[in-house]
A and B are shown apart, each in its own frame.
Chain A
Amino acid sequence: MDTSEKQNRLLVDLHVKYIQSLDTKKDDLEYWLTEHLRLSGVYWGLTALDLLNSIDALKKEDVVKYVVSCQHDNGGFGGHIGHDPHLTYTLYAVQILVIEDALDAVNVDKIVEYVASCQDRDTGAFTGDEWGEIDTRFSYCALSCLSLLKRLDAINVPKAVEFIMLCKNFDGGFGVSPGAESHAGQIFCCVGALAIVNSLHLVDADLLGWWLCERQLKNGGLNGRPEKLEDVCYSWWVLSALSILGRLHWINKEKLIEFVLVAQDSEGGGIADRPGDMADVFHTLFGIAGLSLLGYPDLKPVDPVYCLPKHVVQRIGLAERYHV
């Protein structure tokens, strides 16, 4: 079978092997330079594996033990053992523990305390950590995390929504902070966050849906902003937002599937940002999650709001709580 034939279908076994092999590349400098992404990598890899029906490819015991070792006394999680606590890693940790059904391995109250401490009382915004960077990504992290822990009561939700709405733009999209340009990654965060707290009525779904579906380029791939290059990760950021808004059918599914499949590394496994580039676990998850949303066969369905396998979200009783 030549490369192009291989790339007509999802190379499930290769991707599973690729994800399993990630922790063995210790003679690559890259492995050490990306240590701060280790916990994220576990979330990306584990979620992808579950969608590929292969969650057992990583040993649950090892995964949970590792996640627990990333928690700090203040409740937050770092990107790797000993790395400083941050809201993004705290969400990744909670997501992994929810997938593994292992929340009892950590002190949940401490996590809730940490997340709540990141909210700015006046603006409702969330800082990533004690150093004060503000970004709508962190609003999503906080809302998603507390929703998964069933502890949204710990923060001021109306204020959080108020801040997100300050970041809404002329095109219906959202930026990193008030005044900032719309960006598909940020739109996923804001639309997802609003969905979690049942506030989707604040989104101009037709206008934003228009902007989002115009992200599809002639080659089938999606970009993250107008006049930019396509990238597999937008198969998630753009698609999840369209899906939450009930407008997934506004793009050409076949062409996008084709684009994601061609970005696979048909020898080493994994998916790259675009065809011909190096694969990585980040794009591997978002390529697979995108395919799952598009209904690609033999993949488990993914939840567009939490970016978790749907069965996991259903198990904890959160599925379909959002309405367009």
Chain B
Amino acid sequence: MHGRKRVKPSAEVEKLRKEKEVTKIKEYRNLVESYFQKKDKKEFDNDALALTTKILSQNPDFYSIWNFRRLILLNGLLKECSEEDKQQTLSTELVFLQELFQLNPKSYWIFNHRRWCLETMQNPDWDKELQLVGKFLELDARNFHAWDYRRYVTSKLSCTTETSLTQIEFDFTTTKINQNFSNYSAWHQRSKLLPLLIKEKNLDEQEKKKLIDKEFELVKAAFYTDPDDQSAWLYHWWLVAQGSIISTSQMNEESKESSNSLNQNLSINTSERIELLQREINVVRELLELEPDSKYCLQTLANLLSELKSNVKEDSKKIDDEIVTICDRLIKIDKFRTKRYEDLRSKFISNQQG
């Protein structure tokens, strides 16, 4: 149960509610009772379908009813009928689901049943589904069920049309991010699409670098707009780490294994790596002058410096000192997470001693 306010009704109000519920409970229990009977007798008829409609409209999380509904369709309406009728039946099913979505935009079971309907259809209209999910994301740009459904629909669409939708979907995340820089779901989606885009477009080194630089521009605009929002900062750190071919961090170890990593697509040498790190360090330092208390800004600077240290031989003591100073500052600013900064600091203090 989420987000339902606790109210303490008077004894009289409570009595009235219970009286009203007596009838509702009786009706509902009768429906459920009929379901068990029909299921036992394997009655896959229109009455059974209507029964599941009634129960699911009231209770879309009753998963067994969805299962029964599919059995009714498979053994009844969809059995031994023309492709046309089949299409019609399942289209009606989609309309029913759309009505349920309005009240329950985050139900696993409803999305699940929708996928089943479309996959059971001879001619699913994936374009229509893409429009539908676009509307969901207009209503709630962070609905992760809707984002999942979007990835599902676009993968089906690109299969049937044999064209890649990567660029279109990449542009979709640009739109969502420009509407709201804090749309973490869109940044996440971008982290999946960018490596794919580079791979599919078969870009040369220069073009790849240009595309990545554009990403750095976008993410800079985001954290300059709201330095307190972590979405852009995490994406920025991912971009920096992805650009590395020599870093020993686990993130890079892992992405080397992944066929879609940027690393395979973007090979830069150490001097380019240092250049990139220094450029980003400067970007972050500039912002820090305007926002001296931005914890994500400070954290990112510490990350970048630490990464720089593993790429240069000189200044190692100076870098350690600066990271320790940053940690001290973070400990003062971000009281809830002091232990994390202490852990981080200890790595650089021990380096100094060692």
Residues of A bordering B, CB below 8 Å:
27-29, 32-33, 35-36, 78-79, 82-84, 86, 129, 131, 133, 135, 168-172, 175-177, 179-183, 202, 204, 207, 209-211, 213-214, 216, 225-228, 231, 247, 249-252, 255, 265, 267, 272-274, 276-280, 282-283
23 contacts between A and B (CB under 8 A): A28-B21, A32-B25, A84-B64, A170-B238, A171-B238, A179-B151, A179-B192, A180-B147, A181-B144, A181-B147, A181-B188, A181-B189, A213-B340, A226-B182, A226-B234, A227-B231, A250-B340, A251-B337, A252-B337, A276-B6, A277-B2, A277-B5, A280-B1
Q: A225 with B184: in contact, given A27-B22, A213-B337, A280-B1 (CB under 8 Å)? A: yes
What residues of chain A lie closer than 8 Å to B189, measured between beta carbons? 181
Flag the segment in B44-52, B54-62, B204-212 that touches A. Answer: B54-62
A249 to B342, CA, bound (A): 11
Q: How far is the CA of A81 from the CA of B67 in the complex (A)?
A: 16
In the complex the two chains form, what is the Cα distance from A168 to B4 in whole Å?
33
Is B332 in the interface zone, CB < 8 Å from A? no
CA gap between A133 and B112 in the complex, in Å: 7
Q: Are A227 and B6 in contact (CB under 8 A)?
A: no
Inter-subunit contact A29/B229 (CB<8 Å): no
Q: Is the CB of A181 within 8 A of B184?
A: yes
Partner among A169, A177, A213 whose Cβ is within 8 Å of the Cβ of B191? A169
Within 8 A of A (CB), among B57-116: 58-59, 61-64, 67, 70, 108, 112, 116
Task: Assess the A183–B340 pair: CB atoms within 8 A.
Answer: no
- Among B32, B188, B339, which residue has its beta carbon within 8 angstroms of that of A170? B188
Q: Which residues of A are found within 8 Å of B230, using beta-carbon distances?
A: 214, 226
Q: Of A179, A183, A277, which is within 8 A of B3 by CB?
A: A277
The residues of B that contact A168 with a CB separation of less than 8 Å are 254
Nearest-CB residue, chain B, relative to A209: B340
Whether the pair A169, B188 counts as a contact (CB closer than 8 A) is: yes
Q: Which residue of chain B has its CB nearest to the CB of A281?
A: B1
Among A28, A265, A278, the residue within 8 A (CB) of B4 is: A278
A78→B64 contact, CB < 8 A: yes
Cα distance A121–B73 when bound, in Å? 28
Are A177's CB and B148's CB within 8 A? yes
Q: Is the CB of B182 within 8 A of A32?
A: no
Q: Do the beta carbons of B254 and A204 come within 8 Å of each other?
A: yes
Q: How far is the CB of B285 from chain A (nearest CB, A)?
A: 21
Contact B5 A211 (CB under 8 A): no
On whether the beta carbons of A131 and B251 are closer than 8 Å, the reply is no
Question: What's the nearest-Cβ distance from chain B to residue A4, in Å?
Answer: 15
Interface contact A278-B234, CB-CB below 8 Å = no
Chain B residues contacting A252 (CB-CB under 8 Å) are 335-337
Known: A182-B188, A225-B184, A250-B339. A33 touches B238 (CB 8 A): no
Asked whether any CB of chain A lies closer than 8 Å to the CB of B176, the reply is no
Sorted nearest first, the 10 A-B pairs with minimum C-beta distance are A170-B191, A252-B336, A280-B1, A250-B340, A84-B64, A170-B238, A249-B339, A226-B184, A181-B188, A204-B250
Docked Cα-Cα span, A211 to B5, in Å, equals 30
Which residues on the B side are within 8 Å of A176 (C-beta)? 144, 148
Interface centre among B238, B250, B336 (most CB of A within 10 A): B336
Chain B residues within 8 Å of A, Cβ to Cβ: 1-6, 8, 18, 21-22, 24-25, 28-29, 32, 36, 58-59, 61-64, 67, 70, 108, 112, 116, 142, 144, 147-148, 151, 182, 184-185, 188-189, 191-192, 229-231, 234-235, 238, 249-251, 254, 335-337, 339-340, 343
Contacts of B62 in A (CB 8 A): 35-36
A282 CB contact (under 8 Å) in B1, B59, B148: B1
Q: Residue of A at shortest CB range from B109? A: A133
Q: Which residues of A contact B18 (CB under 8 A)?
A: 27-28
Instruction: Please determine whether B116 and A131 come into contact, CB atoms closer than 8 angstroms.
Output: yes
Residue of B nearest to A228 (CB): B142
Expressed in whole angstroms, the Cα–Cα distance for A80 and B310 within the complex equals 57
Q: Which A residues lie within 8 Å of B116 (CB)?
A: 131
CB of A299, distance to nearest CB on chain B (Å): 22
| CB pair B59 A33 closer than 8 Å | yes
Contact of B5 among A209, A276, A283 (CB under 8 A): A276
Distance in angstroms between the alpha carbons of A125 and B339 in the assembled complex: 37
Could you tell me the distance between the alpha carbons of A82 and B8 in the complex, rounded to whole angstroms?
A: 35
Please, which residue of chain B has its CB at the minimum distance from the CB of A265? B6
Chain A: minimal CB distance from B218 (Å): 15
Contact A171 B61 (CB under 8 A): no
Q: Are A29 and B24 in contact (CB under 8 A)?
A: yes
Q: Which residues of chain A have C-beta atoms less than 8 A from B108's C-beta? A: 133, 135
B35 closest partner in A (C-beta): A82
Bound CA–CA A28/B229 (angstroms) = 43
Q: Are B63 and A204 in contact (CB under 8 A)?
A: no
**For the complex, what is the distance from the CA of A111 to the CA of B142, rounded to whole Å?**
37
A170-B235, A226-B229 known, 20 other contacts, Cβ within 8 Å: A29-B21, A82-B36, A83-B64, A84-B67, A133-B108, A175-B144, A180-B151, A204-B250, A213-B336, A231-B2, A247-B340, A249-B339, A249-B340, A250-B340, A272-B1, A273-B2, A274-B3, A276-B6, A277-B3, A282-B1
| A280→B1 CA distance, assembly (Å) | 6
Indicate if the CB atoms of B142 and A227 lie closer than 8 Å. yes
User: Cα distance A131–B108 when bound, in Å?
Assistant: 13
Across the interface, do A172 and B29 meet the contact criterion of CB distance under 8 Å?
Answer: no
CB distance from A63 to the nearest CB of B (A): 22
- Shortest Cβ distance from B61 into A: residue: A36
Nearest neighbor of A130 in chain B, beta-carbon distance = B67
A131-B70, A170-B191, A278-B5 known; A227 vs B22 contact (CB < 8 Å): no
